[in-house]
Amino acid sequence: MKTAIITFPGTNRENDMAAAVKLTTGKSPDLIWHKETTLENYDLIILPGGFSYGDYLRCGAMAAHSPIMKEIIAQAEKGTRIFGVCNGFQMLIETRILPGALLKNKNLKFICKNVHLRSENTDTHFTKHLKEGSVIEVPVAHGDGNYFATPDILSDLAANDQVAFRYCDAQGNVSEEANANGSIDNIAGIYNKRKTILGMMPHPENATLSHQKTQDGVPLFEGILNGLM
């Protein structure tokens, strides 16, 4: 089981992600600089959080054109599992590996707080350790996490069961108040059609270690990683 975490200028949650991977697998992932052009024999590729290229132009837009991205797109087509969190999700969107767009938060401010997520499709490698409809508490920390999709994309997502997580309250109710950033239909994370790729705004990696507020991210990482071991 080999995991690669891709780093870009401005990435800043790569070590948080590495700690979560190490906790779940006992093995440290490789940190790969964005100027590399090949990714041989990795079972899982992670695009971590941060401010790649300072979030200038649009979040994730410059990183989407990094040398490594051609390889990541090729790996995506091959079916290699890819997990993008926060800025990593923004990159998956900017490369069009995942559909839709991420806009500025509705309140126009950066938001860091704990949120609740309802898992919407647990019949995937990523979320098979979570119960359908179960609620996890993990933090968000972003300024541009307001998911937007056209009606066509939305109906596609629904038809293929591609919504992974929705913002909800502690009881699992998907409501306007529980919508952290104004995302359409409270969408917090989505899969590709084949369910080999997951992108999400919240940070499950910051809800794994024993000194962190919750360890609700652990089953997610176990799901992602165990199937590959």
Partner 1 sequence: MSKKISVKVTLKKGVLDPQGKAIEHALGTLGFQGVENVTQGKLIEMDVADDTTDAQIKEMCEQLLANPVIEDYEIKSA
Partner 2 sequence: MQNTAEKSDFLQTVREPDITLELAQEYGLNAEEFDQIFEILGRAPTYTELGIFSVMWSEHCSYKSSRLHLKKLPTEAPHVIQGPGENAGVIDIGDGQAAVFKMESHNHPSYIEPFQGAATGVGGIMRDVFTMGARPIANINALRFGEPAHPKTRSLVSGVVSGISHYGNCMGVPTVGGETQFHKSYNGNILVNAMTVGIANQDDIYYARGAQPNMPIVYVGSKTGRDGIHGATMASAEFGDGNEENRPTVQVGDPFTEKLLLEACLELMQTDCIVSIQDMGAAGLTSSGVEIADKGGIGVTMNLDDVPQRERNMLPYEIMLSESQERMLMILKPGSEDKARKVFEKWDLDFAVIGTTTDDQRLRLNMYGQTWCDIPVPPLVDAAPVYDRPQGQHPLPKPLPQDLGETPSLKTSLETLMRSPNMSSKRWIWEQYDGLVMGESWATSGLTNTQAGRASDAALVRVPNTQKALAISSDCNPRYCYANPFEGGKQAVAESYRNLCASGATPLAVTNNLNFGNPERPEIMAQFVGCVEGLGAACAALDYPVISGNVSLYNETSGTAILPTPVIGGVGLVSDWEMAMDMAFKSEGATLFIVGGEGAHLGQSLYYSEVHGVEAGLAPIVDLDVEKRNGTFMREAIARDLLEAAHDISDGGLLCALAEMSLAARTLGFDVSQLAGKATAFWYGEDQGRYVVATTEPERFSEAAQSDNVPVLKIGVVSQDNCVLPEGEEISCSELIAWHEKWLPDYMSKTN
Task: Name the region of 126 (left: φ>0; alpha: ψ -120 to 50; beta: rest).
Answer: alpha
Tell me the window of 123-131, 153-161, 191-199, 207-215 that interacts with partner 2 (CB under 8 A): 207-215
Over the window 7 to 46, marking each residue x when it contacts partner 1 by CB under 8 A and - when it does not, the resulting string is ----------------------------------------
Q: Supply the Cα-derived Rg of the chain in whole angstroms.
A: 16
To the nearest whole angstrom, how small is the minimum distance from the Cβ of residue 184 to partner 1?
Answer: 9
Using CB under 8 A as the binding rule, the residues of this chain from 166 to 205 that contact partner 2 are: 203, 205
Binder of residue 94, out of partner 1, partner 2, none (CB less than 5 to 8 A by kind): partner 1
The H helix count followed by the E strand count for the chain is: 5, 11
Q: Which residue reads 């923004």 in tokens?
A: 90
Binding residue (CB under 8 A) for partner 1 from 2, 22, 104, 128: 104
**Cα distance between residue 221 and residue 166, in whole Å:** 18
To the nearest whole angstrom, how small is the minimum distance from the Cβ of residue 58 to partner 1?
Answer: 6
- State yes or no: residue 61 binds partner 1 (CB under 8 A): yes
Question: Is the Cβ–Cβ distance between 95 and 73 less than 8 Å?
Answer: yes
Using CB under 8 A as the binding rule, the residues of this chain from 139 to 178 that contact partner 1 are: 146, 148, 150
3-state secondary structure 70-128: HHHHHHHHHCCEEEEECHHHHHHHHCCCCCCEEECCCCCCCEEEEEEEEECCCCCCCCC
Binder of residue 209, out of partner 2, partner 1, none (CB less than 5 to 8 A by kind): partner 2
* DSSP structure string for 128-150: TTSPTT-EEEEEEEESS-EEE--
Over the window 113 to 152, marking each residue x when it contacts partner 2 by CB under 8 A and - when it does not, the resulting string is xx------------------------x-x-x---------
To the nearest whole angstrom, how small is the minimum distance from the Cβ of residue 203 to partner 1?
Answer: 23
Binding residue (CB under 8 A) for partner 2 from 27, 30, 36, 54: 54
How many beta carbons lie within 10 A of that of residue 8, not counting itself? 25
Binding residue (CB under 8 A) for partner 2 from 27, 96, 109, 131: 109
